[in-house]
Amino acid sequence: MIPQLSFLRYVQKQLLARRLLLVVFDGLMIVASYLGAFILRLPDATTLKGFMPSTILLLPLAVITGLPVLVVSGWYRGLTRYAGSHSLYGLVPRSGAMVLILLLSSTLIGGAQPPRSFWILYWLLFTGGAIASRIVLRDVLVHHLDQRENHSPGGSQGDGTLIYGAGASGMGLLLALRNDPRFRIVGFLDDDEGLQGRTLQNMAIHSPLRLPRLIERHGVRKVLLAMPTMSRRRKRLLVDQLTHRGLEVLSVPSLAQMATGQRIVSDLQPVAIEDLLGREPSNPDPVLLKAGVEGKVVLVTGAGGSIGSELCRQVVGLGAARLLLVERNEFALYAIERELGSKPCGVELHAVLGDACDAARLTLICRQHRVDTIFHAAA
């Protein structure tokens, strides 16, 4: 218990120190905004020198009345690293209250008053300066935390990752995973030619045709599908293309799941086989399946793809005598053969590197191995 209490006290001291620094920074911002408003309103040096002495007493009053407004209103409760537009825009009414309280205080005290336009300039300068400074502080802090995570002894830079889809879901996914150590986001992919070559949150949007070059340059290992409205047919073709390149494909939840609150955009999951069928899934008939597989010689085309690899797993589980894996992508063929061969299943495996469109070769293979059943899963 004592070490835990010591740690909590240390964290509380760190938070207090950071908040005090922000308070001091905002105090300096009030001073700079106050003086800047006078300089902009009275650009003539002679007029400024004559006017400032009579109103300089309002400067400490601006600090004394302004900072408590920010503290009491909860301006310093937010985490700087996660400061977004909603939290930053929350400064607008707070700074408005600061200016209003200072105006009322100066009126009650009496004496020389600043020009009317001074109050608007003071409000604009402080609001704009405070918001801009928070954005800069946020980006510097996030960059510092990323660098510390990446260069720490146990730190991991994560797998090179591309987000497929530069729309609202892709944007939300980037923000949700930016500090996730599992992923090192290197850019976006999108089919829309109007988006290609542009940037989103400082991340380049690439054409899918550049995928081989991106894999080589950034060591891409994962692709996150951020297109929840994509059709099943399109998703199947896309997943086949990506898995054939040895990439792990994860998908965001559907719009229905996110709308009902069951899932959030960062709840990534492997693409389910049901999502790739192009139709509603049908309940299998075990008797019928075994009749065409058990003890038979089975050939699966497109064996390294999303559908083909699942078929191979099912065929092995149903006790085929021999399984021929036909695949034109060497890496995908190696991956599925290695996966199936790593488990004792009693099924004789034969990997065949070839194209399902080569009718002559397929005919020869079927004759040589006396194939009983063919599952055609090549795209």
Within-domain flag for 103 = yes
One domain for residues 8 and 129: yes
One domain for residues 139 and 171: no
Cα–Cα distances (Å) from 12 to 7, 22, 321, 368, in that order, read 9, 15, 66, 75
Cα–Cα distances (Å) from 39 to 26, 120, 127, 242, in that order, read 20, 13, 17, 60
Task: Give per-residue pLDDT as tens, 81-138.
Answer: 556 666 677 888 888 999 999 889 888 877 667 788 888 999 999 998 888 888 887 7
One domain for residues 128 and 219: no
Domain that holds residue 214: 159-276
pLDDT band at 7 (very low <50, low <70, confident <90, very high): very low
pLDDT band at 184 (very low <50, low <70, confident <90, very high): confident
Task: Give per-residue pLDDT as tens, 284-335.
Answer: 677 777 888 888 999 999 888 878 888 898 888 888 899 999 998 888 888 8
One domain for residues 140 and 32: yes
Structural domains counted in the chain: 3
What CATH code is carried by the domain that includes residue 178?
Answer: 3.40.50.720
Within-domain flag for 42 = yes
Beta bridge mates, 222: 161, 248
One domain for residues 262 and 292: no
Enumerate the H helices of the chain as residue ranges: 2-41, 45-55, 58-72, 85-89, 91-109, 116-151, 168-177, 211-218, 232-243, 255-259, 286-293, 306-317, 330-341, 359-369
Within-domain flag for 314 = yes
Does the model's pTM come out above 0.75?
A: no
One domain for residues 15 and 125: yes
Within-domain flag for 174 = yes
Within-domain flag for 115 = yes
Q: What is the structure's pLDDT at 8? A: 53
One domain for residues 7 and 141: yes
For residue 255, pLDDT over 70 is answered with no
Within-domain flag for 138 = yes
One domain for residues 11 and 141: yes
One domain for residues 166 and 120: no
Domain end among 228, 247, 276: 276
Domain end among 116, 150, 184: 150
One domain for residues 116 and 194: no
Greater model confidence, 16 or 338: 338
Domain end among 150, 171, 194: 150
Within-domain flag for 281 = no
Bridging pattern class, strands 322-327 and 297-301 = parallel
One domain for residues 8 and 146: yes
Within-domain flag for 171 = yes
Q: How many other β-carbons are positioned within 10 Å of the β-carbon of residue 324?
A: 24
One domain for residues 97 and 75: yes
